Structure 1
Amino acid sequence: MIGVKPLILAGIVAATATVHANELDRVIDKSSEINQSATQSQTKIDKIADSMQGRLQQFTALNKEIDGLAVYNAQLTRQLNNQVTEMGDLNASMDKVSVIERQITPLMIRMITGLEQFVALDVPFLKDERAKRISSLKQMMDRADINSSEKFRRLLEAYQVEVDYGRTIEAYTALQSVDGQEREVDFLRIGRLELIYLTRDGKKAGSWDQQTKTFVALPDSTISQISKGLRIARKQLAPDMLTLPVHAAE
């Protein structure tokens, strides 16, 4: 019986060692599983952290963009308010323009009438040209394709032409009744002070008398001075003194 006990003890020890080895393997396997699970969890945590970091960056960028848009919207709001104010001013100006346009049309009509009356009472030089200018102004007033500003500009031009007549000297050819006959003559206009004609043969001359509203004959002694004046007006001679009768316009 003494010999059997060691064998039993050895078997127990061996069995115990086997049990411990199996348990250790299970512990090691379990530890490996835990480590693997921990690794997987850490990987997930790292991915979540990376995702959170990316979203945080996006959030920061979006906040900056929102701040920029807020500044931009505020600027647009100020511009829009200014444009609304300007539109109000423009509407008010347009209303004023409409009022002025309604007032300026009768004014231009009166100006044309006054110009026509002035020409009728003035020294009768360039009668056809001046009458045609006034007729053109009257026709212009009835045209819808010409705005008021352009009409007024043309009317002022016509007035300026009449003003210039008073400070220039001019020679031109036209028909004139001389001794009851229609003849072609040379006219010499000196401002509005004098309108003289000389027949083409240089034998007869006459001067406009503003009081009698007729041409009166001039003596032959004035013909040479009239011829000289015609040449000066045509820039064929340098300006020089002339001795001519003067009938001042009223």
Structure 2
Amino acid sequence: MKLTRSKLALLLAAVYSSSFSASLWAQESLNQAQSVQSRTNAASASSQKNIDKSAEQSLELRGDIERLQEEVKNMKVYRDHLSALVKSQEGEADSLAVQIEEIKDTRQGIVPLMYSMLDGLKSIVSNDKPIKLAQRQQRIEKLESLMTRADVSDAEKYRRILEAYQIEMDYGTKLDAYQGEVDIDGQTRQADILHLGRISLVARNFDQSEYWAWNQKTQTWQSVDASLQPEINKAFSVAMQQSAPGLLILPVSLAKGEAN
């Protein structure tokens, strides 16, 4: 069949038009697909950001939870510690209450004891040889004054009395020389005085022209035989650390009862 030129032209035009329309449709479909892909990628990126942010927040929350759990654990340990302290303090409070009551009873007993000890010191000094007599009497007077002072504790008062007893004990073991007063025939004279424990008590005047020894029986100072004067001088030298210790021969100042 033969087509006329005009018909052929119309057919070609129709085919071209149809092909052009298909091309336009394909291009539009491609553009739409690319737009959808772009939107999908954008949504995916946004979702990934949200996921990353949520993961970061989740990690932070987990860290907070772990810190809180550790704090709770520490607080429990501290609570148990405080409970133990409170229990211990309650026990100490009960113990202190008992001790306070005991201290009250002890103070009621210690005060009369201290006065009794002071009376004992007075008796020792009054019946003993006059070794540093003025110092010992002054010490007792200070202790008696101390007993009535409210600003000094009973413990300190008791310590001072014990210290005085220790000094009295030391008089019985030392070789000591000092200057003091002696009563010679009713006259008070200054002299060098030496005692060897409580065994011997002697004195000499400052120019070493007179020597005396204490007689415990008669409670008086008596002249010493001239033969003993060099020994007394030797004893003074030893007591004042001017000579080395050695054998000393001194008058004995013991009453008959003390010698036994």
Q: How does the TM-score come out when normalised to structure 1?
A: 0.74
Query: Contact 2:177–2:195 at 8 Å: present in 1 too?
Result: yes
Matched, 1:46 2:49: no
> Following superposition of structure 1 onto structure 2, how do residues 121-132 of structure 1 map, counting pairs within 5 Å?
121-132=127-138
2:15 maps to which of 10, 13, 20: 10
- The aligned residue for residue 215 of structure 1 is 220
Alignment-mate amino acid for residue 113 of structure 1: D
Matched, 1:137 2:140: no
> Following superposition of structure 1 onto structure 2, how do residues 1-250 of structure 1 map, counting pairs within 5 Å?
3=7, 6=11, 9-10=14-15, 13-14=18-19, 16-17=21-22, 18-19=24-25, 21-197=27-203, 202=209, 205=212, 207-210=214-217, 212=218, 214-215=219-220, 217=222, 222-235=225-238, 238-242=245-249, 244=251, 246-248=253-255
Alignment-mate amino acid for residue 28 of structure 2: N
Question: Identity rate of aligned residues, in percent?
Answer: 27
Distance 1:46 1:243, change over 3 A: closer
Query: Contact 2:215–2:253 at 8 Å: present in 1 too?
Result: no
SS at match of 1:116: helix
- Where structure 1 has 5 or more consecutive residues not aligned to the other structure, the ranges are none
Kindly state the Cα deviation for residue 28 of structure 1 after the two structures are TM-superposed.
Answer: 3.8
Alignment-mate amino acid for residue 52 of structure 1: S
SS at match of 1:103: helix
Query: Contact 1:188–1:226 at 8 Å: present in 2 too?
Result: no
Distance 1:230 1:106, change over 3 A: farther
Alignment-mate amino acid for residue 224 of structure 1: S
Kindly state the Cα deviation for residue 244 of structure 1 after the two structures are TM-superposed.
Answer: 3.2
SS at match of 1:239: coil
Query: Contact 1:169–1:188 at 8 Å: present in 2 too?
Result: yes
Distance 1:240 1:47, change over 3 A: closer
- Where structure 2 has 5 or more consecutive residues not aligned to the other structure, the ranges are none
Kindly state the Cα deviation for residue 23 of structure 1 after the two structures are TM-superposed.
Answer: 4.5
Cα separation, 2, equivalents of 1:208 and 1:83: 64
Aligned length: 246
- Which range moves more in the overlay, 3-12 or 103-112? 3-12
Cα separation, 2, equivalents of 1:96 and 1:19: 113
Kindly state the Cα deviation for residue 122 of structure 1 after the two structures are TM-superposed.
Answer: 1.9
Distance 1:27 1:81, change over 3 A: same
Distance 1:174 1:11, change over 3 A: closer
SS at match of 1:78: helix
Q: How does the TM-score come out when normalised to structure 2?
A: 0.72
Query: Contact 1:194–1:208 at 8 Å: present in 2 too?
Result: no
Kindly state the Cα deviation for residue 21 of structure 1 after the two structures are TM-superposed.
Answer: 4.3
